[in-house]
Structure 1
Amino acid sequence: MCKGHMTVEITSEFVTLRAGGTLIVLAASKGGRARMVYAGPDLQSASPEDLVALAARQHAPGGPEQPIAPSLLNCIGTGHPSPPGLLAHSRSQHWALDPRVAGVKVSAPGQVTILTRDEPSGLMVGHSIALCEASGVANFATALSTNTDTDFALEWCSALCLPLDPRFSRLTSFTGKWAREFQTEELAPIRGSFLRENRAGRTSHDSYPGFYCGTDTTGEGHGVAAAFHLAWNGNHRLRLDRLADETFSLQAGELLLPGEITITKGMSYVTPTLLASFSDEGYGAATRGLHRWLRANRLKPDLPRPVHYNTWEAVYFDQTPGRLFALAKQAAEVGAERFVLDDGWFGARRNDRAGLGDWHVSDAIYPDGLKPLADHVRSLGMEFGLWFEPEMVNPDSDLYRAHPDWVLEMDEVEPIASRHQLPVDMTLPVVRDYLFERIDSLVSDLGIAYIKWDMNRDIQHPGGADGRPAAHRNAKAIQLLLDRLREAHPDLVIESCSSGGARADYAMLERTDRVWTSDNNDARARHAIMRGAGYFLPLEVLGNHVGPKTCHITGRRFPMHFRAGTAVFGHMGMELDLAKENDADRAVLAKAIDLYKAHRALIHSGDYYRLETASHINAIGVVSANRDEALYQVAILDQHPAPHPPRLHFAGLGRDRRYRLAIEWPEHHAAEISTFTGSALMDYGLQLPQSLPDTCLIYHLKEER
């Protein structure tokens, strides 16, 4: 939980939380329905009574004699016209729930729990609301339980039904596919519902669990805005509803399969946490709130981010010790600090059709084991890392032949073939024990510092050994295994990879340290992917690699200056056969790595800014906390439509400060260093140089004292 100054005030009628520029006011009179009065940017000196009086509504002709106020879940029993945020029943009884406030308590610093109970059924509903002082981000979650003998079948439970600013008229959601993740999709919400559901068994490529709201005039640096993220690594549902009376609300929670959750005496169900970052200074401030929350609550402080070399696109399955020894030496020569051996080192894994699940070093490829390679890598000054895909198995494997019952399946349904692999049933303790023993043993024996944890297919039929749907249990079991591994190896760094960026949520980042943003190393495509991911994830967790001259996915060819300059902004790495790069390109790559190392601390701790530019330009920047230093990346992705390039308007600088400005990349664009005020750079702008498409410029600004 974030630390810092915050205020929590509880009266007989209201709960008020203030922290980090955010205000939350709830009505919570004992015996009444708990409801959200306000959640958003702080309204200085405003009292709960002020807000309730200002929101009072008269009778609507043709409607109920008394307007029905929304509650935290808008259950059916309340009569509220919006879709209910809680659907549960006991053998078709007690379906019209109407929980009332039983008590309010401060459950942690900056966190309040409102306890409610549906008296006829005995179902208890606890609403957790917290604010983070470091970020102003709000956290919402709901817990369901019962102390009666009545069992409840749960169909749907949102973290809450959150009323939104009715001025919001624009929605940005995030979709995509394999190798084209984090694509933004802008919509104008109309009366009715926006619904996005994910049944992939992982966060998914096409339905990221987050979105932004703003108005027609909201920009990066001005206007009301809000960002939302559901911290969950499994199936999810997001919905926005604008009713006939123009009220606007959000629901977000786990998408449950039929019969998946039953609430019984002695057990409870807790929704995934919904995070909300509110802003009256545009989308950029909402983004920086989420980044600050992650840094304060999820990421290991001051975790080194070594320059990464991954073997995949250099060798694929064609692993030989001699070639890998040479690659390690070449990687160290250009500045790599970590060497990661990807898929193909174990069992009969000579292609993607066999061996998955047999987590023993292949004697056929490595007769002396992997220790000589690991020792060689460390002798070159690099860490050694290894690839795993623990959650999958090939039918053509020793593991599956011995334990065909260790997979998720449904007896009455034909399994869906995908990537020649089946999902392992992680809910079985024996499966988790096997995987832990194998990974733990290799980490200990080889001195592994880093794991690339992959998961390469959707789970269409998550049936457990008991015949019941197991999507929820499987997602929780993955967390258990990762937690156990982290406890055994606190210094182990783990990357969340899922055929690229298909599992990049905050629940995974509670247990991992890096996200493999995309399998697509096309430098031009990467700018859109990285920009989209940056709405939720800070640069230090986003793996960004220099790929080969000809991209293996798109077939496009790019010069090294563009490939390397693109990869500087993120957690920089390489995924190319260095033996196929000429001396000049390897020298350019080494210079880019030096540039990354020189500015790594700023890139991985600075405040993140998206610059507003024409569509053929992508520009982002990071600014130090005290605004004395900044680094900006400007990618020219197509021809300028006008004879001269446009001006670039910087963001995030101190208006009355004077900055020394230099182009640091590429070196042939270097110009005479000049100094300018922050206000001039932001409001008047800098004339960009004439540049060909696929040029990446990097500007460094340092305050003159």
Structure 2
Amino acid sequence: MIVLNGTDSGIVLEPRPDGAPLWRWWGPRVGTDALPPLAETRPAASFSLDIDQPLTLVPNYGTGWFGPAALRAHREGLAFFQRWNDVAIDRQANAVIITLRDTTAQVTLAQRLTLDPATDVLTLSASVRNDGDDALTIDWLAAGTLPLPADATTIRSFTGRHNAEFVAEVEPMPAHGWVRENRRGLTGHAGPPGLFVEGPGATWHAGTVRAAELAWSGNHRLAIERDDEGFWTLQMGEALAPGEVRLAPGETYDTPDMLATVSATGRNGAIQSFHAAIRAAVPWPAAGMPPRKVHVNSWEGFYFDHDEAALMALADRSAALGIERFVLDDGWFRGRGDDTAALGDWTPDVVKYPNGLRPLADHVVALGMEFGLWVEPEMINPDSDLYRAHPDWALAGPDAPRPTSRNQLVLDLGRAEVRDHLFAVIDTLLRDLPIGYLKWDHNRDLAPAGGADGTAGYGAQVRGAYALFDRLGAAHPAVEIEACAGGGGRIDAGIARRTHRFWTSDCIDAVSRVRMQRGYLHFMPPEMMGSHVGASPAHSTGRGQSMAFRAAIALPGHFGVELDPATMDPEGTATLTRWIAHYKVLRGTLHHGRVWLGEGTDSLFWQLHGTPTDGLLAVTRVEPTVIRRPPALPLPPLAGMGRVRVRLIDIATTPGHPVPDAPVFAAMRGEGVVWDGDWLAQAGLPMPAMKAESVALFAIEPA
């Protein structure tokens, strides 16, 4: 048997000489001593081929396996199926590479699997090489095919739109099949291409959960299909456009990586494995992730109305609040008075900035803050000097209309000359100015996405963007990059390998953010989650919340401010200053430990950051209570942890409406109260009588 084991999970494959290995297990770690061959465990089935066709690591098309195939390829309609007659297995410490060759179809497929013991994340990827003398067209290649057990019960996935990302959808396992296919050309506002498959009785804290996500920022396909033997298969891969991958002799196509994990401790175990894997992939400097700076972004305070003196005043007010980074958003470059013109012309506007951006940047740095800048390199306005010089650089279709979105087209990053131009422009900005941070936006879907030769350019666009990010990262390793795409339109494990922060959503309404941020945390760690204090009423919804509530909801992520402090009254200023101070004290706990999500009765949501005995607990109430007195909140992660001290740090609520008190909460606000972890896990932590739109913040410390 081929066995790969993580800390708590494992895979078992059964090799065979005439084909891909057979799947025997993917799930919690198991022993394989005396495991009989699969053939000895399978009785004959009626109306079946005489040669058994169980699920393999790389299921074939058209040879007797009637479930989903890992590869669909052909040569102008011929050689449409494969029979692997040459098998090589390369076993490594935590990995295995299975190389399969069909000498008749003249195709070689390599399937790679790596199980990281540190994260319990299984990484799968595949590649196909054309060994023939004519072109090979690839219609589909799965990054991996995984078995799902017959007792799986539900699929948890996410949908969404601009300003409403990460909408959770929970569905029963399908009687036939389940497919999520994205054709927008970028990740999309539903969030990462991923899902959770839950077993019987699975909760946040208990039960078996299998989860997977694709490390890819473009078109993708996730598919679950039920087999008539009662189990399901899961596949993920790049969703290819017609004719998009046509391999010349000797050429190879590689899939994105598929990250998969198994948890025996509910959804939270899978969440923590994903967080660990993403953290290991982020391109931090050699010294590691620095403390996540509090930053202010100019967008909702000023939009396109840039005035150098006013922005310097914004910097002054921000520094006084304790803010550590100033980000100048859209509107700074030549001819940019609104969103109709100038994308592509990345030099400072001489009317708004007669002496360039240097005076503002130097002013920001002199205040002790870092200077950041907004760019959108992949986009171009038809009303721009760059487009007038190079209209052929835009993605388009031959003799087809070029529909704009937000008045912009998309530059073809599949072309080396376009990438070279963009690198030169951004490199110049980074060398000429003290820029420590780029907010990198992407404000439209790709349509049409024809490349220079007229064929579909979706995948080439993503790979070109990755190459540009990688080149800039190598040239400027100290510069942090935020991935923004109309808010949360490009959040995935592929772009996470090249950036340091995500803008979760253009919607900063704190009530909306409760759901969005919990959805985000299913896949990505909190230190990369851009979470800002916005204006009230919120610009995206028109709904208002107290300053304390807005700040408390922003606290667990990478904290920022998206308003002009000049608009705040003294009480709001004092409240924001207090929560910025909270963040600076707590960010080490928030951003370096594990995250547990949970729910209480009566519409309470909670999350615990850090460790069960040295962590930060945030309990959120969005809706008014319907219960006369609040019930205690069970905290399952504290089971078996012994004695802990609980302190009540703050309650974010509407000013002038304090919550009813009790002696235990008064004690918690002081030195804290000592509890037994098993008591808190089972009987629960007493809760204050929280009002709607409030957050209670507790420190859990060693007793």
TM over 0.5: yes
After superposition, give the CA deviation of every residue in 1:594-623 in whole Å (9 maximum; x if it has no partner).
Answer: 111101111001110001324732211113
Return the match for 2:223 from 215, 239, 259: 239
Q: Does 1:63 align with 2:48?
A: yes
The letter of the residue matching 1:83 is P
SS at match of 2:471: helix
The letter of the residue matching 1:245 is E
Q: Does 1:686 align with 2:670?
A: no
Residue 700 (structure 1) aligns with: 699
Say if 2:614 and 2:702, in contact at 8 Å, map to a contact too.
Answer: yes
Pairing of 1:543-558 with structure 2 (within 5 A): 543-558=530-545
SS at match of 2:435: coil
Residue 107 (structure 2) aligns with: 123
Cα gap change, 1:672/1:299 in structure 2, threshold over 3 Å: closer, same or farther? farther
Cα gap change, 1:282/1:32 in structure 2, threshold over 3 Å: closer, same or farther? same
Percent identity, aligned pairs only?
A: 36
Return the match for 1:306 from 279, 293, 300: 293
Return the match for 1:217 from 201, 205, 212: 201
Residue 630 (structure 2) aligns with: 645
Q: Does 1:603 align with 2:590?
A: yes
Please report how far the alpha carbon of residue 646 of structure 1 lies from its aligned counterpart in structure 2 after TM superposition. Answer: 2.9
What is the TM-score when the length of structure 1 is the normalising length? 0.95
Pairing of 1:512-523 with structure 2 (within 5 A): 512-523=499-510
After superposition, give the CA deviation of every residue in 1:402-455 in whole Å (9 maximum; x if it has no partner).
Answer: 111110000233222311000111111121111111111111111100000000
Q: Which runs of 5+ in 2 are unaligned?
A: 653-657, 660-664
Say if 1:214 and 1:226, in contact at 8 Å, map to a contact too.
Answer: yes
Q: Does 1:184 align with 2:183?
A: no
Say if 1:548 and 1:575, in contact at 8 Å, map to a contact too.
Answer: yes
Residue 447 (structure 1) aligns with: 434
Determine the C-alpha separation between the residues in 2 that align with 1:95 and 1:581: 66
Say if 2:179 and 2:223, in contact at 8 Å, map to a contact too.
Answer: yes
Say if 2:20 and 2:87, in contact at 8 Å, map to a contact too.
Answer: no
Q: Does 1:391 align with 2:367?
A: no
After superposition, give the CA deviation of every residue in 1:380-422 in whole Å (9 maximum; x if it has no partner).
Answer: 1110000000011111111111111110000233222311000
The letter of the residue matching 1:703 is P
Residue 499 (structure 1) aligns with: 486
Determine the C-alpha separation between the residues in 1 that align with 2:602 and 2:108: 51
Please report how far the alpha carbon of residue 237 of structure 1 lies from its aligned counterpart in structure 2 after TM superposition. Answer: 0.4
Say if 1:194 and 1:240, in contact at 8 Å, map to a contact too.
Answer: yes
Residue 283 (structure 1) aligns with: 267
Q: Does 1:270 align with 2:269?
A: no
Residue 32 (structure 2) aligns with: 46
Determine the C-alpha separation between the residues in 1 that align with 2:308 and 2:39: 73
Determine the C-alpha separation between the residues in 1 that align with 2:569 and 2:518: 30
- Range 299-308 or range 414-423, more displaced: 299-308
Determine the C-alpha separation between the residues in 2 that align with 1:237 and 1:651: 35
Please report how far the alpha carbon of residue 653 of structure 1 lies from its aligned counterpart in structure 2 after TM superposition. Answer: 2.6
Please report how far the alpha carbon of residue 55 of structure 1 lies from its aligned counterpart in structure 2 after TM superposition. Answer: 8.2
SS at match of 1:442: helix
Determine the C-alpha separation between the residues in 2 that align with 1:206 and 1:309: 26
Residue 512 (structure 2) aligns with: 525
SS at match of 1:466: coil
Q: Does 1:358 align with 2:358?
A: no
Pairing of 1:463-502 with structure 2 (within 5 A): 463-502=450-489
Q: How many residues align?
A: 686
Determine the C-alpha separation between the residues in 2 that align with 1:290 and 1:283: 11
The letter of the residue matching 2:624 is Q
Residue 382 (structure 1) aligns with: 369
Determine the C-alpha separation between the residues in 1 that align with 2:597 and 2:142: 31
Determine the C-alpha separation between the residues in 2 that align with 1:595 and 1:564: 10
Residue 676 (structure 1) aligns with: 675
SS at match of 2:184: coil
Determine the C-alpha separation between the residues in 2 that align with 1:344 and 1:152: 47
Determine the C-alpha separation between the residues in 1 that align with 2:170 and 2:58: 27
* Alignment RMSD (CA, Å): 1.6
SS at match of 2:392: coil
Please report how far the alpha carbon of residue 22 of structure 1 lies from its aligned counterpart in structure 2 after TM superposition. Answer: 1.8
After superposition, give the CA deviation of every residue in 1:266-290 in whole Å (9 maximum; x if it has no partner).
Answer: 3211111111110111111111111
The letter of the residue matching 1:255 is A
Determine the C-alpha separation between the residues in 1 that align with 2:534 and 2:590: 21
Return the match for 1:294 from 255, 273, 278: 278
Residue 79 (structure 2) aligns with: 94
What is the TM-score when the length of structure 2 is the normalising length? 0.95
Determine the C-alpha separation between the residues in 1 that align with 2:563 and 2:63: 60
- Range 77-86 or range 690-699, more displaced: 77-86
Residue 655 (structure 2) aligns with: none
Say if 2:616 and 2:698, in contact at 8 Å, map to a contact too.
Answer: yes
Cα gap change, 1:72/1:656 in structure 2, threshold over 3 Å: closer, same or farther? closer
Residue 318 (structure 1) aligns with: 305
After superposition, give the CA deviation of every residue in 1:45-101 in whole Å (9 maximum; x if it has no partner).
Answer: 323x52645982211222223431112232224311112221100111110212245
Please report how far the alpha carbon of residue 686 of structure 1 lies from its aligned counterpart in structure 2 after TM superposition. Answer: 1.7
Q: Does 1:584 align with 2:571?
A: yes
Please report how far the alpha carbon of residue 691 of structure 1 lies from its aligned counterpart in structure 2 after TM superposition. Answer: 1.8
Cα gap change, 1:600/1:100 in structure 2, threshold over 3 Å: closer, same or farther? farther
Determine the C-alpha separation between the residues in 2 that align with 1:464 and 1:524: 42
The letter of the residue matching 1:174 is F
Residue 553 (structure 2) aligns with: 566
